[in-house]
Amino acid sequence: MANTYQTLTEIAGKALKRSQNNMALVSRVTRDWDDEFGRRGRKIGKTFHLRKPNRYLHVAGPDITGVIKDYVDPPTIPITLDQQPVIPLAFTSADWLLNVDEYEDRMWGPGADQLANVADSSIAVLYRGVGNTVGAGGASALTGQAVNPTPGTALISTGTPNPYRVFLYGNAMLHQEGAPPDGRIALVDPLVQVELVDYLKQFHVPIDVLSKQYKKGLITMGAGMEWAYYQNIYNHTTASAFTHGSALLDGALSQATYAGINTLTVDGYTASANKIFLAGDMFQIGPITTFGLASGVQAVNPLSRRSMTWLRSFVATQDVTTDTNGRATVTFAPTMQLPTLNDVPATANPLQNVDRAAVDNATISFWGVRATTYNAKSTLMDLIFHPQAFAFACVELPLFEGVHKAGRATDDKTGISIRVAQIWDGYTDKLITRMEMLYGTAVPMPEWAVRVQTT
C-alpha cells in the first residue's frame, strides 16, 4: 500500500508517541512549570524560572505580637531552553512512496528513538548538579560522615556481599533531606541490576514481584522505590594530577539574601593549574571526623534545622582552573543556605540547609579526603531521586511559512513536542527534512537526589 499519510503533522504525532514510549528518564521527572512554558514560539536560549517549595519558621504561640513576618516569594531556579536536538535527513520522491510500515521502520522511527535517547541523556547528566553521594560499600550517612565515596572502586560487582545496602543508605539520605516518600526512583545501570536481582533471590519476596524478577530479570518496586534500569548511566571521571592536601577556603562565607551562596573561593593550589575540579566532582568543607566537627559545614534537616552530623556534600557545576596565585572560584550546588542573613541572629533563614557559616581557611576535602587518592578515577553515577529533584521543560517550535511542508505534535499532559519540517530541492529531487525538539533541564531540588557510585 502506498504512503497514505502525507501530512507531517501525522508523522510528528507518530514520532512523538514512539519517543515518549522510549523515554525512561523524562517520564520520571517533573514537567510541571509555569504556564509561560506552554506558550508557542519560544526561541532557543530563552530562560525562565521554576518555583521551589517554600519553607517557613515557626514561633512559640499563642502571642505573635512583634514576630509577624512579611510573606516572601518562594525561591526560584532558572531553566533555559538551550537544547535543540535535530535529526536531519534527505528523502527522494521514491522514498516518499514507501508503504507506511517501511516508512516508519526505516525513516522517522529510528529518528524518534534517537530524540528520546538524547532527551533522557540530558536528564542523566544532571548528576553533576547533585551533591549527595553514597558509595564505598554502603558507607553510612548516619555515622557522622556523609560519604567516603571511593571513586574507581568496584562497589557493586560479581559476588558483592550486599549490593542492595548502598541503595538503602541513599534512600535514607532522602528521608533525612525531607524528600516526599512517594514516587522515589532508583535508576541503575543494567549490570548493576544483575547483581541486585541475584542478591534478592535469596529472600522472601511477594510472588508477583518474584515472578517479574524471574521472567524479566528486573526489580520493579522495592525498599520504597520504583526501580528502573538505564543503559546510558554516566561514568564520571574525577579531576587528575593535582594535590588537594593544601586546599583552603579563601575568606569566610556570609549570606545577605535568601538567594543563598553558590560560589566560593579556594586557595593553596598550584598556580595556573588546569581543572583542579571537573563538573561533577564532589567536595566538603571542614575536617573529616565522626562527631564534634570544629569547623565543618554540616547538613541539617530542612524542617527541624538540626544538624544531621554529616558534612554537607557540594558538587562543582563547572570545571575549575586556578589563577597565577593558586586561587580559584568554584561554582557549586546545592546552593548554600546559612542559618542567618548577614550573621544577625534575629534574621533566621527558613531555607537553611547547613548548620554554620564556613570560616576563613576551612579545609576543602576532595571526594571526602585531603589527598590525591581519588584523582583521575572513574565511577558509574546511578541515581536515587524524587521526581521533583529534576525538571524537563519542552516547548512547541513554530511552523514557518515558505517551507514545503511542516507539522508538529504536542502532548497536552506532558508538554513534550516534536516538529517535522521539509524543504524540497528541485535540482536534486530531495526533501530536506528535520525532526526536532526544543527543551531545557534544571535541578530545582538537588537535595532530593542522591548519586550512587557503583563501579
**Which region holds residue 305: left if phi is over 0, alpha if psi is between -120 and 50, else beta?**
left
- The predicted structure's pLDDT at residue 329: 94
Q: Which residues contact 433 (CB under 8 A, 6 or more apart)?
A: 88, 89, 90, 91, 420, 421, 422
For residue 37, what is its C-alpha cell?
A: 512554558
Domain extent at residue 352: 241-370
C-alpha atoms less than 13 angstroms from C-alpha of 58 in its C-beta half-sphere: 7
**Above 80 in pLDDT, residue 68?**
no
Gyration radius of the chain's alpha carbons: 25
Are residues 85 and 118 located together in one domain of the fold?
yes
* In a domain? residue 416: yes
- The predicted structure's pLDDT at residue 296: 81
Q: Residue 123 and residue 28: Cα distance in Å, rounded?
A: 10
| Confidence category of residue 36, pLDDT binned at 50, 70, 90 | low
Task: Give yes or no for a contact between 380 and 455, defined as CB atoms under 8 angstroms apart.
Answer: yes
Q: Quick one: DSSP state of residue 36?
A: G
Of the spans 65-79, 396-410, 440-454, which averages the highest pLDDT?
440-454
* In a domain? residue 184: yes
- The predicted structure's pLDDT at residue 145: 35
**Above 90 in pLDDT, residue 390?**
yes
State the pTM of this model.
0.84
* In a domain? residue 169: yes
Region 256-268: mean pLDDT is 87
* In a domain? residue 441: yes
- The predicted structure's pLDDT at residue 445: 92
Are residues 171 and 223 located together in one domain of the fold?
yes
- The predicted structure's pLDDT at residue 137: 33
Are residues 97 and 185 located together in one domain of the fold?
no
Are residues 338 and 419 located together in one domain of the fold?
no
**Above 50 in pLDDT, residue 47?**
yes
* In a domain? residue 62: no
Are residues 105 and 22 located together in one domain of the fold?
yes
Alpha helices (runs of H) in 97-219, residue ranges in sequence order:
100-103, 109-124, 163-176, 190-200, 207-216
Q: 24-38, 103-117, 376-390 — which is least confidently predicted? A: 24-38
Q: Using CA atoms in the order 132, 134, 187, 30, what is the torsion angle rounded to 10 degrees?
A: -10
Q: What percent of the chain has pLDDT over 90?
A: 21
Q: What percent of the chain has pLDDT over 70?
A: 76
Position with higher pLDDT, 13 vs 163: 13
* In a domain? residue 88: yes
Region 177-188: mean pLDDT is 91
Are residues 319 and 271 located together in one domain of the fold?
yes
Region 154-161: mean pLDDT is 47
- The predicted structure's pLDDT at residue 10: 80
Q: Residue 264 and residue 274: Cα distance in Å, rounded?
A: 18
Provide the CATH number for the domain around residue 362. 2.40.30
Domains identified in the chain, total number: 3
Are residues 25 and 85 located together in one domain of the fold?
yes
Strand ranges across the sheet with 86-92: 86-92, 430-436, 417-425, 405-410
Region 170-183: mean pLDDT is 91
C-alpha atoms less than 13 angstroms from C-alpha of 394 in its C-beta half-sphere: 29
**Above 50 in pLDDT, residue 146?**
no
Of the spans 100-104, 195-199, 406-410, which averages the highest pLDDT?
406-410
Q: Using CA atoms in the order 226, 447, 319, 118, what is the torsion angle rounded to 10 degrees?
A: 30
Are residues 38 and 140 located together in one domain of the fold?
no
- The predicted structure's pLDDT at residue 289: 47
Query: Cell 527543551 maps to which residue?
Result: 439
Over residues 271-322, the pLDDT tens digits come to: 888 888 899 998 888 765 444 444 588 889 888 888 887 889 899 999 999 9
Are residues 328 and 339 located together in one domain of the fold?
yes
Are residues 193 and 314 located together in one domain of the fold?
no
Position with higher pLDDT, 332 vs 344: 332
Burial profile 363-393: b = 16 or more Cβ within 10 angstroms, e = fewer: bbbbbbbbeebbbebebbbbbbbbbbbbbbb
Considering the chain, what is the average pLDDT of its residues?
78
| Confidence category of residue 34, pLDDT binned at 50, 70, 90 | very low
Task: Give yes or no for a contact between 66 and 313, defined as CB atoms under 8 angstroms apart.
Answer: no
* In a domain? residue 58: no
